[in-house]
Structure 1
């Protein structure tokens, strides 16, 4: 998880050439509506529990952090390759008001997406300073950029340990999220929270994640379930979906290497029971999924890898 923490603590700085190999990269990451879809999150929770071909899940997204070693070097080329691999949606990361999206301002990035028949329904933004001081200016700047790009969600991707080291700290996070979510709502957006495994640490008879779920307003704050990290924490996503129906509007779909659980692998080749999880999709409220893979086997072409994962999701899990 150190790579992800280091990256987010230095948000805005470009990564320096790390090879895509398991030995070098450890796994560490990380009602949303389909653009133009007639299916809402309410629809998704209404009837059966299986995924239907008519749901918003038909448009498969990718968290661009997956391609963090390639993207800053050739934004236009990599976005084109993402589209060619069959993706329709991209989730951003690393935006700063100074550097924009890998050197492109919001309008230029939106035009790049449009040229490749892509949308961006969610973006990961750094909320650490806001959680410390409550200054909403940065949140407003995120909202301004997100509206231009076409986001439906601003997503909190990660919080440093000093912000989440007690039950009271999580209550502060929940309070700040509710306030930021009010700003998002006023601009036609919504706020979401993306988990790792540390949120499941016990504080007495509760966990940080329980606190966030209980103390954020369901009408304002949604959750992006990172299925890999839920499994790494020893929990089952299906149980959370049943306990908090309709709140997990987005998923991060990444698989766990069978021999080294700290590493990711292509969807369908690891140890996570994705058919069982997708069978509970409507209960969770999910309407958008983002494939993510944070490390690649030595010699594996990242673009081929993301295409393999996309094809498995499309042709097997959503068939």
Structure 2
């Protein structure tokens, strides 16, 4: 059994000693020494109450950048045009390296007008990445359809590159159906151009699918330029908790950040036991200790 595999099994089965060494340090944000961000989907229930308040609370908690989601040509981001949303981020000294864009329609139709609208928005926000957050799970139920999708991703990546940006792919657990000893995630990594396609590894979903992030870092070094740092609740592995409060020991994972190629670590939490703003502040305090 490899050392990384031992670490993985130890993490997923119990709270490790390393995790116990990651205290919250209280609710107040500590002095900012590291740069890390947050996926805005974490605060999806707070945006209807006031977009600016959400952005202000993110900045107050100690985050340096945000990852967008939910963009549409009609509604922009949370009812703000990309220009107005960029102005709001500037006001709170936040940047945005990436957004999640809905690729479902593009995958079915190959209508590049959809893709070009995403690129236009990303350029306004001065983002580095156009990111695929989720796709039809049926794609990953055969080797053939997984390879066909990989070729579509390659085609999109060339269009994105020509615009001065880069394409990234974010995983859940749908990519890990067993396909005679391989899976859709491995096929994407093998079949997409490493110079054009990066990966945003969602660490929580890797563990949910019983996969070892460290092995992927070793096998596909340099391709995991973004991470979703999302912890797994001790009482229920299907739920999240604050970074450092759950089952995942992030310390050995961050120790391999250079091997992975990490540029942007992003906190994400999809459900909460406490006030969301208190929660993201606790996560930020831990990220300030363990992040690159």
Structure 2 stretches lacking a partner, 5+ long: 1-32
Task: Tell me if structure 1 keeps the 8 A contact 2:265–2:291.
Answer: no
Task: Tell me if structure 1 keeps the 8 A contact 2:100–2:132.
Answer: yes
For residues 109 and 204 of structure 1, the distance between their equivalents in structure 2, rounded to whole angstroms, comes to 46
Deviations 1:147-197 (A, max 9, x none): 001110010000122343322221122111111111111111000000011
Structure 1 stretches lacking a partner, 5+ long: 1-56
Aligned to 1:192: 168
Is 1:160 matched up with 2:136? Answer: yes
- Please identify runs of 4+ aligned residues in structure 1 that moved more than 6 A: none
Deviations 1:53-96 (A, max 9, x none): xxxx9311000000000113311111111111111100001001
Q: Aligned match of 2:231 in 255, 268, 274? A: 255
Q: Aligned match of 2:276 in 292, 298, 302? A: 302
SS in 1 for 2:186: helix
When normalised by structure 1's length, the TM-score is: 0.80
Deviations 1:193-231 (A, max 9, x none): 000112111111210001000000000000000001001
Is 1:72 matched up with 2:45? Answer: no
SS in 1 for 2:73: coil
For residues 112 and 125 of structure 2, the distance between their equivalents in structure 1, rounded to whole angstroms, comes to 20
Aligned to 1:176: 152
Task: Tell me if structure 2 keeps the 8 A contact 1:122–1:155.
Answer: yes
For residues 200 and 164 of structure 1, the distance between their equivalents in structure 2, rounded to whole angstroms, comes to 8
Root-mean-square deviation (CA, aligned residues, Å) is 1.2
For residues 105 and 172 of structure 1, the distance between their equivalents in structure 2, rounded to whole angstroms, comes to 34
Task: Tell me if structure 2 keeps the 8 A contact 1:131–1:163.
Answer: no
From the two aligned structures, give the one with the greater helix fraction.
2
Aligned length: 260
For residues 257 and 81 of structure 1, the distance between their equivalents in structure 2, rounded to whole angstroms, comes to 24
Aligned to 1:270: 246
Map 1:106-185; keep pairs closer than 5 Å. Answer: 106-185=82-161
When normalised by structure 2's length, the TM-score is: 0.87
Is 1:90 matched up with 2:63? Answer: no
Task: Tell me if structure 1 keeps the 8 A contact 2:240–2:271.
Answer: yes
Is 1:216 matched up with 2:226? Answer: no
Aligned to 1:318: 291
Task: Tell me if structure 2 keeps the 8 A contact 1:125–1:157.
Answer: yes
Task: Tell me if structure 1 keeps the 8 A contact 2:96–2:127.
Answer: yes
Task: Tell me if structure 1 keeps the 8 A contact 2:141–2:179.
Answer: no
Task: Tell me if structure 2 keeps the 8 A contact 1:201–1:208.
Answer: yes
